[in-house]
Structure formats: structure tokens, C-alpha cells
Amino acid sequence: MQYILKAPASFNATIKLPASKSISNRALIIHALSNSDVLPQNLSVCDDTEVVVNALMSNPDVIDIKAAGTAMRFMTAYLSVTPGEHVITGTERMKNRPIGILVDALRYLGADIEYVANEGYPPLRIKGHPLEGGYLEIPGNVSSQYISALLMIGPVLKNGLELRMTGGIISRPYIDLTLWMMREFGADADWSDMETVKVNPHPYNQHKYLIESDWSASSYWYEMMALTDDTESQLMFEGLMDASKQGDSIVKYIYSLMGVKTRFAERADNDAMPTVTLKKQRCMLPRLDYDFISAPDLAQTVVVTCALLNIPFKFTGLASLKIKETDRIEALKRELRKLGYVLRDENNDTLIWDGTTCEPTFEPIDTYEDHRMAMAFAPAAIKFPGLRINDPYVVTKSYPQFWDDLESAGWTIEKIK
């Protein structure tokens, strides 16, 4: 399937963003560990969340989490402390995404986990049973999802968990989000120093929980607003929290540098969802250097935006992009070259564009089974009318209604099988 995209000349739309996938998946695991009968409200309906819901509700012997990396990490820890035997597996790409650091950590705590095929990679056979817990060290510079997975089981470990992160910490806001949600459910967990989190053996409480909208999903609309030339355009959302614990809420500050103003409306009712309005302003930014160590999922969107606005950049903190749904660093280099932009990378964690261009080929944009590749490149049709996107359905991983929302905002999408 291929989509051919044509953007409207201006935007004036209200978009219902999906619920946060990051919050939904954490809430589901904590909800299961609390033995609550009431599911969190406003759960994300994306693929990554549905596989967790299905696993927890159906409890099959073989759990297929498809391409959901978060689900693989969180469910591996959850199954380790939950009675029963399961095999957890996923797509071919998932079977090539490393999980050895998490498995080693859980085994150190006493978990019974075997590799079904290749050492260090899914599928896994897990025989769940109560774990003692205690002190544990884990590299903090590989994936915050390993850390969040371990922290969330901390309250149900007999001796709790003292988790020290070595080698630096990436995506710290996601760890903070996990701790904040754990405390919302009654856990006794917090940082004891800059590298260590202490989780006391204090069971979770049953708790009604409402999932807020997804700041990551808003980033593609920020990109559209940055790329449009119409200063009268505006976009409105509901459910984005100004003081959100979501790490990707930093998007509002990044895009303020590129001429997108964010305004939060006053709420008459404290229980009402806030209304957020994006407006276009003039962009005078000559260059952007930024460290994405705390928000790597925004990198693709910002890379494409800067290139199309002819803003040279140097972006660091991108090492985790190489082990995502695809090698996102290589994918960005390859696909932006099709539009005439020549990027280079350094040290496996840095992307640089110094203004170098080439003759564009305008070949269709490949998405590599990566939802964020499709959504980060779709707004490029504002500058390149008729842009073609291959395999557009990959967006169901996090934002299933993305293309419908584009059409509701005035986009024209021609679908070719």
C-alpha cells in the first residue's frame, strides 16, 4: 500500500490526539500488579497497548507482542513475578532486538528465564514465581524501558529493590514518569541519589486512573505548523497537560524555537481536559544543536523539520535509535537523501546536517515497519506536494487514526494498492 499526500494551504482544525501509549502500558502493568478489577480509563487503542491488554486479559501460554518493544520489556519483568509458565515472542525484528541486559538483571534477582532460540534475544520462556529483590546494578545508558520494567515490579518483591544505574542514564524523564505513576498507585519509590532508585516492599493500591493524551503524537502536528507558510493557521487539541510527566512534552519548547507558539487555555473545571492551541510565528533560528538523550522519540520529527526549514543542526544522544523498530539513524539518512538532504552521522549517536544537498529523486519514502518514520515524513508533503509514503499502516503501532486525522484537517490522501 502507498499513500500520495497533498497538504492544505492552511490549517484550522481540532484534533483528538490518542491517549499516551507510554502511560497506558505502565498503567496496565501496575494495575495488574495491584490486582485491581478496574481497568485504567482512556487507554490507548494502538497496537503496542492492545498486545499488553490481550496478554493480561487472556493469559495465553504463548504471548505474541508483535513489534511492541515496550510490551516485551514490561511483560518480561511482569511474567517473572507472576505464577505460571509462558513463552513471550514477537516479530522477526523483535527477535533481533537485544534483551540480555534485562534478562541478566531479572536472573540476578532469581527469575527463571530461558532463551528459546538465540542467546540475548527473544523469544523467552519464563516460569514466574515470587522474587526476593534486593540490590541490583544495571547499565543506564542502553534503554530506560529495562529500568522501568524492573522498577514497576519492585513493590511486589519481598525485599523491595535498590536499583543503581551505571554508565550514565538515557531517557531519564521516562524513569521519572514510571516513578510518578508508581507513587500514584501507592508505591514507596524515589531517587536516593542521582544514579539510584530505592523501592520499598509496599504493595500497590487499587486506583482509578485516567490516561492523558500523548505528547509524542502531538509532535507531528507541531512539525506541520512549523512547516506551513500560513501565519493564520492554528491547531487545537484536548487532553495535553502543561505539567505532564511525559518526557516528550519537551516538544513544545523545541518547536517554540522554530516558530510554533503553544497556548494552554484556562480551565473553569479542574476535572476538565485543558485545551491547547498551536499558532504559527516567524522562525529566525539560524541553527539548532540539541541533545536528545532524554527524548529520543522526537528525533525523527525534529530532524525532518529542520532539514525542510533549511536549519543546519547537530543532534546528539541518539544511540538508542539504532535498536528501535529499525536503525532510525540510517533510515533518516537514506530517506532524506531522496528529498535532497545529505546527512552524516558520528559515533553512532550523532546526526549532522550542515546544509549539504543533492539532486532529489523523490522516490517513495520507505517506513521500515517503523510508525515514527511514516508520521515524521508525512508533513514533508507541505514542502513536497504529492509525497509518497510506502506501507503507511505502520502508524497503528502508536497512532492508529493518524491518516484519518490528516484528512479531517484538510489533507488529501490518494491510496494506491
The residues assigned a catalytic role are 297
Cis previous bond, 123, omega within 30: yes
Q: What are phi and psi of 43, to 5 degrees?
A: -65, 150
Q: Provide the residue type at 151 as one letter.
A: L
20 SS3 class: coil
Q: Provide the residue type at 376 as one letter.
A: A
Best CA proximity match to 247, nearest among 20, 19, 43: 20
Cell output for 211: 490516561
d(CA 6, CA 388): 9
**Helix H or strand E segment including 351:** strand 350-353
Q: What are phi and psi of 104, to 5 degrees?
A: -60, -40
Yes or no: say if 209 and 178 are a contact pair by the CB < 8 Å rule.
no
d(CA 332, CA 367): 10
52 SS3 class: helix
Tell me the helix, strand and coil percentages in the chain, rounded to 5: 35, 25, 40
Find how far residue 48's CA is from the centre of its chain.
10
d(CA 302, CA 255): 8
Torsion, CA 247, CA 217, CA 182, CA 90, rounded to 10: -110
Yes or no: say if 244 and 253 are a contact pair by the CB < 8 Å rule.
no
Q: Tell me the β-bridge partners of 136.
A: 163
**DSSP output for 262-320:** EEEPP-SSTTSPPEEEEEE-------EEEE-TT-GGGHHHHHHHHHHTT--EEEE--GG
Q: Please, is 274 exposed, middle or buried when counting C-beta atoms within 10 Å of its C-beta (0-12, 13-18, 19+)?
A: middle
Cell output for 151: 522498577
d(CA 64, CA 51): 7
